[in-house]
């Protein structure tokens, strides 16, 4: 059986801030139902990567290269049009409106047209995925814990019918129990065909749920491969998995 065509492809993606290259990536692709982990130290270029794919910019980066969604070049589209096309980024906590309740945050954010391979979640389905949100449905976004806010951000993204869901460090600041809960939700979502790009500093937790892992250093891919092999890779083990400090 030949593998499904990639849903997301980035080629020759380069991002520079002034004279500094923050990202220089030859190629990255993601298939439906696949969870790809992107790991690396602070400043490695992980956020730069997902922001460039989503079309977001912090500051004034120079971005070049191509981003294709289902074979269509979206690299000239502004972020909201990429989102409409199903390329969704959940940045750390930011997809949540603080002055709106959980329920209001989960009111259909925009009218999205259903199409094959795009499931548009409704509020009940989001509550099914994250029962905690149902319990907190009357609370304001600003009153939620970091973990609850993360769940709400993911829920909002799911209501936009993602083809590709990108998450920038969803586990940051979460209690260990919640980290595994949020990350294992990624497996559930992927099993329905969603492609997921997971940026994580918590390599130990990420490696348990991703299919493939990419290690970035100074904006470049140092090593990539199936999660099982990456666990034994000395560069990953040395940096993150060794029995050392943590």
Q: How far is the CB of 47 from Mg ion (least distance, A)?
A: 3
- Does 46 sit near ligand ATP (CB under 6 A)? yes
- Does 93 sit near ligand ATP (CB under 6 A)? no
* Identity of the residue, 11 or 201, whose beta carbon is nearer to Mg ion in the bound complex: 201
Q: How far is the CB of 202 from ligand ATP (least distance, A)?
A: 11
Q: Which of 43, 98, 176, 234 binds ligand ATP (CB under 6 A)?
A: 43
- Does 52 sit near ligand ATP (CB under 6 A)? no
* Identity of the residue, 102 or 186, whose beta carbon is nearer to Mg ion in the bound complex: 186
Distance of alpha carbon 44 from the chain centroid: 16
Binding-site size for ligand ATP (CB under 6 A) equals 13
Report CA dihedral (188, 118, 71, 10) to the nearest 10 degrees.
-40
- Does 45 sit near ligand ATP (CB under 6 A)? yes
Distance of alpha carbon 45 from the chain centroid: 14
* Identity of the residue, 88 or 126, whose beta carbon is nearer to ligand ATP in the bound complex: 88
* Identity of the residue, 47 or 105, whose beta carbon is nearer to Mg ion in the bound complex: 47
Q: Which residue is nearest to ligand ATP (CB)?
A: 59
* Identity of the residue, 70 or 169, whose beta carbon is nearer to ligand ATP in the bound complex: 169
What does the binding site for Mg ion look like in residue numbers (CB under 5 A)? 47
d(CA 214, CA 37): 6
Q: Which of 6, 10, 34, 48 binds ligand ATP (CB under 6 A)?
A: 48
Q: Which of 28, 36, 47, 167 binds ligand ATP (CB under 6 A)?
A: 47
* Identity of the residue, 113 or 246, whose beta carbon is nearer to ligand ATP in the bound complex: 246
Q: What does the H/E/C string look like for the chain?
A: CCCCCCCEEEEEEEEEECCEEEEEEEEEEECCCCEEEEECCCCCCHHHHHHHHHCCCCCCCEEEEEEEECCEECCCCCHHHHHHCCEEEECCCCCCCCCCEHHHHCCCCCCCCCECCECCCCHHHHHHHCHHHHHCCCCEHHHCCHHHHHHHHHHHHHCCCCCEEEEECCCCCCCHHHHHHHHHHHHHHHHCCCEEEEEECCHHHHHHHCCEEEEEECCEEEEEEEHHHHCCCHHHHHHHHCCCCC
Enumerate residues 146-205 that contact ligand ATP by CB under 6 A.
201
Contact of residue 2 among Mg ion, ligand ATP, none (CB under 5-8 Å per partner type): none
Q: Which residues in this chain contact ligand ATP in the complex, by CB under 6 A?
A: 17, 22, 40, 42-48, 58-59, 201
């Amino acid at each position: 059986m030949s593998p499904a065509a990639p849903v997301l492809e980035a080629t020759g993606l380069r991002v520079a801030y002034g004279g500094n290259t923050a990202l220089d990536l030859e190629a990255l692709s993601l298939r439906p139902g696949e969870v790809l982990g992107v790991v690396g130290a602070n400043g490695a270029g992980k956020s730069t990567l997902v922001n460039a794919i989503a079309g977001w910019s912090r500051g004034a980066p120079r971005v070049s290269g191509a981003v294709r969604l289902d074979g269509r070049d979206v690299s000239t589209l502004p972020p909201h049009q990429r989102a409409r096309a199903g390329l969704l980024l959940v940045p750390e906590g930011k997809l949540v409106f603080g002055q709106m309740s959980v329920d209001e945050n989960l009111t259909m954010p925009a009218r999205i047209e259903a199409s094959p391979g795009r499931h548009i979640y409704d509020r009940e389905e989001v509550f099914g995925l994250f029962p905690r949100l149902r319990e907190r449905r009357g609370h304001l976004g600003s009153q939620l814990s970091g973990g609850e806010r993360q769940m709400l951000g993911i829920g909002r993204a799911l209501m936009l019918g993602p083809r590709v869901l990108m998450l920038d460090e969803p586990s940051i600041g979460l209690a260990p129990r919640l980290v595994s809960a949020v990350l294992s939700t990624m497996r559930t979502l992927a099993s329905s065909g969603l492609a997921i790009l997971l940026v994580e500093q918590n390599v130990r937790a990420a490696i348990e749920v991703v299919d493939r892992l990419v290690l970035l250093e100074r904006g470049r891919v140092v090593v990539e491969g199936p999660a099982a092999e990456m666990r034994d890779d000395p560069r990953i083990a040395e940096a993150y998995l060794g029995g050392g400090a943590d």
